[in-house]
């Protein structure tokens, strides 16, 4: 079956090259070695197609037992991703396998990799402080909902928000949602998070959540319960 996927993928990419006239085609994610290792066990093929211009487009199609997830992105969108440090785009393309690359595509992907390797800009202290305050107040909301039907939902939403803050406050790229836990290198923190996720008893789950919150926020000054009158980040758009 994997040999069939290999052949189908080659045909699909050849078709894209002929019909779309792209600047570049890259395999990303776990599928990036499919053309080098025809027998690698994957049936989800993720592709990025670099266009000269146009809107971002996405195509997800099932071809027998193979699913192709194809993103069409323009050079101007990649320039925007570099300038605005869009980690979700930079990380994907920095871990890709080129199938076809023009000179223009080589240049812009090289700059994508450079931007990713530099890492994101460190968050200023005002934003770290705001994050501590926001997460403290959100945790209070979770605590108050211990006996409510949405408690587990709020816990997992809060944990996701807390882990994003953990990466941002350290000056690291924030992983995709499915890798938020997997990417934690701190063994102690990862153990706390995994224990929380495996827990089913509400009181214990809440104590575990508070432990994770303290572990993340204590090195930054701890929880912040009050906000003195001052500029407050808010997006009115």
The reply to whether 231 falls in a domain is no
The reply to whether 225 falls in a domain is no
Q: How far is CA 10 from CA 13, 28, 160, 177, 204, in A?
A: 5, 15, 38, 30, 51
pLDDT digits (tens, 9 = 90+) for 74-116: 999 999 999 999 998 999 999 899 999 999 999 999 999 999 9
Tokens of residue 204, six digits:
């214990």
The tens place of each residue's pLDDT in the chain, 237 residues long, gives: 555 777 888 889 999 999 999 999 999 987 777 766 555 556 788 999 999 999 999 999 988 878 899 999 999 999 999 999 999 899 999 989 999 999 999 999 999 999 999 999 888 899 999 999 999 999 999 999 999 999 999 999 999 999 999 999 999 999 888 889 999 999 999 999 999 999 999 999 999 999 999 999 999 999 999 999 988 887 665
Same structural domain, 46 and 105: yes
pLDDT of residue 1: 52
The reply to whether 226 falls in a domain is no
Q: What is the pTM of this model?
A: 0.80
Q: How far is CA 108 from CA 4, 43, 210, in A?
A: 33, 29, 43
pLDDT of residue 43: 73
Q: How far is CA 20 from CA 23, 42, 91, in A?
A: 9, 25, 24
pLDDT of residue 236: 62
Between CA 89 and CA 106 the distance in angstroms is: 16
Full residue range of the structural domain in which residue 212 is found: 125-220
The residue out of 118, 142, 175 marking a domain boundary is 118
Angle of the 187-198 helix axis to the 151-170 helix axis, nearest 10: 170
CB 50 within 8 A of CB 112: no
Same structural domain, 96 and 204: no
pLDDT of residue 4: 76
Same structural domain, 110 and 130: no
Same structural domain, 189 and 108: no
The residue out of 118, 142, 161 marking a domain boundary is 118
């Amino acid at each position: 079956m994997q040999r069939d996927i290999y052949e189908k993928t080659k045909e699909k990419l050849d078709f894209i090259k002929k019909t779309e006239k792209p600047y570049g085609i890259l395999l990303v994610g776990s599928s990036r070695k499919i053309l080098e290792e025809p027998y690698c066990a994957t049936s989800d093929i993720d592709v990025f197609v670099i266009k000269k211009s146009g809107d971002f487009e996405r195509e997800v199609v099932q071809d027998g037992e193979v699913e192709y997830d194809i993103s069409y992105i323009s050079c101007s969108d990649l320039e925007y991703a570099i300038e605005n440090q869009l980690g979700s785009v930079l990380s994907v393309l920095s871990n890709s396998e080129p199938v076809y690359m023009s000179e223009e595509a080589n240049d812009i992907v090289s700059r994508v990799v450079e931007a990713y390797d530099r890492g994101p800009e460190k968050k200023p202290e005002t934003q770290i402080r705001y994050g501590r305050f926001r997460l403290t107040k959100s945790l209070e909301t979770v605590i108050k909902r211990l006996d409510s039907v949405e408690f587990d939902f709020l816990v997992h939403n809060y944990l996701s928000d807390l882990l994003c803050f953990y990466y941002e406050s350290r000056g690291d790229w924030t992983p995709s949602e499915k890798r938020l836990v997997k990417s934690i290198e701190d063994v102690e923190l990862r153990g706390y998070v995994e224990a929380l996720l495996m827990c089913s008893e509400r009181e214990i789950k809440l104590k575990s959540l508070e432990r994770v919150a303290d572990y993340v926020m204590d090195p930054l000054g701890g929880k912040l319960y009050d906000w003195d009158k001052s500029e407050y980040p808010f997006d009115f758009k």
